Chain A
Amino acid sequence: MNITLDHVTKKFAETIAVNDFSARLPSGQLLCLLGPSGCGKTTILNMLSGIVPVTAGRIFFDDRDVTELEPEKRGIGLVFQNYSLYPHMSVLENICFPLEIQGVKKSERIRRATELAEMVYVDNLLKRRPAQLSGGQQQRVAIARALVKNPQLLLLDEPLSNLDARLRIEMREEIRRIQQETRVTTIFVTHDQEEAMSISDQIVLMKDGYLQQIAAPLEIYRNPINEFTADFLGNPVINKLSGVVRNGKIRIDGTERELALPTAEALADGRKIHLSIRAESFEPSDERDETVLIGSVAALSVTGKDTLANIRVGDFDVRALVDSDAELSAGETVGLTLKSRGVFVFDAESGERLA
Chain B
Amino acid sequence: MKPFKLSTVLLYLFLILGALIMIFPFYWMITGSFKTADGINAFPPNLIPTEITLKNYRFALETAPFARYFLNSVIAAVASVSICTLTTILAAFAFSRLRFVGRVRIFGMLLAMMMVPFEMVVITNYRTIVQMGIHNKLIALIIPFSSSIFYTYILKNFFDSIPESLYQAARVDGCSNWRYLWRVMVPIAKPSLYTIVLLNTIASWNSFMWPMLATNSKNVRTLPFGLYTFVTEGGARNEIMMAASTIVVLPMIILFLVTRKNIVNGVARGGLKG
- Please state if B274 and A72 are interface contacts (CB–CB under 8 Å): no
Query: B-facing mask of A249-278, CB < 8 A → 1, else 0?
Result: 000000000000000000000000000000
How many residues of chain B are within 8 Å of chain A by beta carbon? Answer: 22
- The interface-forming segment of B41-49, B108-116, B172-180, B217-225 is B172-180
Q: Is the CB of A84 within 8 A of B174?
A: no
- The interface stretch among B54-62, B79-87, B163-171 is B163-171
Instruction: Decide: A84 and B171 in contact? CB cutoff 8 A.
Output: no
Residues of chain B within 8 A (CB-CB) of A15 are none
B251 within 8 A of A: no
Which residue from B163, B169, B188, B269 sits with its C-beta under 8 Å from A78? Answer: B169
Q: Indicate the size class of the contact surface on chain A.
A: 20 to 34
Q: With contacts A80-B169, A84-B165 known, is A98 near B174, CB below 8 A? A: yes
In the complex where A130-B273, A131-B273, A138-B274 touch, is A84 in contact with B169 (Cβ < 8 A)? yes
A87 to B185, CA, bound (A): 10
Q: CB-CB < 8 A to A88: which residues of B?
A: 184, 187-188, 190
In contact, B174 and A80 (Cβ under 8 angstroms): no
**Residue-by-residue, is A58-85 near B (CB-CB < 8 Å gives 1, otherwise 0)?**
0000000000000111001110111111
Tell me the dominant secondary structure on chain B's binding face.
helix
Q: Kindly list chain B residues whose C-beta atoms are within 8 Å of the C-beta of A98.
A: 173-174
CB pair B165 A80 closer than 8 Å: yes
| Given A78-B169, A84-B168, also A101-B174 (CB < 8 A) | yes
Q: How far is the CA of A328 from the CA of B183 in the complex (A)?
A: 68
B273 touches which of A76, A81, A102, A138 (Cβ 8 Å) = A138
Does B272 make an interface contact (CB < 8 A)? yes
- Answer whether residue A149 sits at the interface, using C-beta atoms and an 8 A cutoff: yes
Interface bits A70-112 vs B (CB < 8 Å: 1, else 0): 0111001110111111111000000001100110000000000
Count of A-B contacts with CB under 8 A? 67
Identity of the chain B residue whose Cβ is nearest the Cβ of A74 in the assembled complex: B172
A residues near B273, Cβ cutoff 8 Å? 87, 130-131, 138
Task: List residues of B (181-221) whose CB comes within 8 Å of A's CBs.
Answer: 183-184, 187-188, 190
Q: Which residues of A contact B183 (CB under 8 A)?
A: 97
> What's the Cα separation between A83 and B188 when bound, in Å?
16
Task: List chain B residues, Cβ under 8 A from A76.
Answer: 172
A contact residues around B172 at 8 Å (CB): 49-51, 71-72, 76-78
* A71–B171 touching, CB < 8 Å: yes
A162 within 8 A of B: yes
A82 touches B163 (CB 8 A): yes
Q: With a 10 A CB-CB cut-off, give which of B170, B171, B188, B274 has the most chain A CB atoms.
A: B274
Instruction: Check A51 against B274 for contact (C-beta < 8 Å).
Output: no
Bound-state Cα–Cα, A131 to B272, Å: 8
Most chain A Cβ neighbours within 10 Å, of B169, B170, B269? B169
Question: B171 to chain A: which residues have CB within 8 Å?
Answer: 51, 71-72
Instruction: Closest A residue to B189 by CB, please name it.
Output: A88
Of the residues B168, B169, B170, B188, contact of A87 by C-beta under 8 Å: B188
**Complex interface: chain B residues within 8 A of A97 (CB):** 170, 173, 175, 183
User: Which residue in chain A gives the minimum CB-CB distance to B274?
Assistant: A82
Instruction: Point out which of A49, A50, A71, A149 has the most chain B C-beta atoms below 10 A from its C-beta.
Output: A71
Contact across chains for A72 and B174 when beta carbons are under 8 A apart: yes
The reply to whether A84 and B173 contact each other, CB–CB distance below 8 Å, is: no
B249-274 vs A, CB cutoff 8 Å, 1 = contact: the mask equals: 00000000000000000000101111
Determine whether the beta carbon of A87 is less than 8 Å from that of B173. Answer: no
Minimum distance in angstroms from B179 CB to a CB of chain A = 7
Query: Residues of A contacting B166 with CB < 8 Å?
Result: 84, 86
B163 contacts across to A, CB distance below 8 A: 82, 84
Residue of A nearest to B273 (CB): A131
Smallest CB gap from A88: residue in B:
B187
Instruction: Report which of B269, B271, B274 forms a contact with A84, defined as CB distance below 8 A.
Output: B274
Q: In the complex the two chains form, what is the Cα distance from A130 to B188 in whole Å?
A: 13
Distance of A145 Cα from B274 Cα, bound (Å): 17
Q: Can you name 14 A-B residue pairings with CB atoms under 8 Å?
A: A72-B174, A76-B172, A78-B172, A80-B165, A82-B165, A83-B274, A84-B168, A84-B169, A86-B166, A87-B272, A98-B174, A101-B170, A101-B173, A131-B271
What 12 new A-B contacts, CB under 8 Å, besides A72-B172, A82-B274, A145-B169? Answer: A71-B174, A72-B175, A78-B172, A80-B168, A84-B163, A84-B168, A84-B274, A88-B187, A98-B174, A101-B170, A130-B273, A149-B173
Interface residues of B (CB under 8 A from A): 163, 165-166, 168-175, 179, 183-184, 187-188, 190, 269, 271-274
Q: Which 3 A-B residue pairs are closest in the complex by CB-CB distance?
A: A72-B174, A82-B274, A98-B173
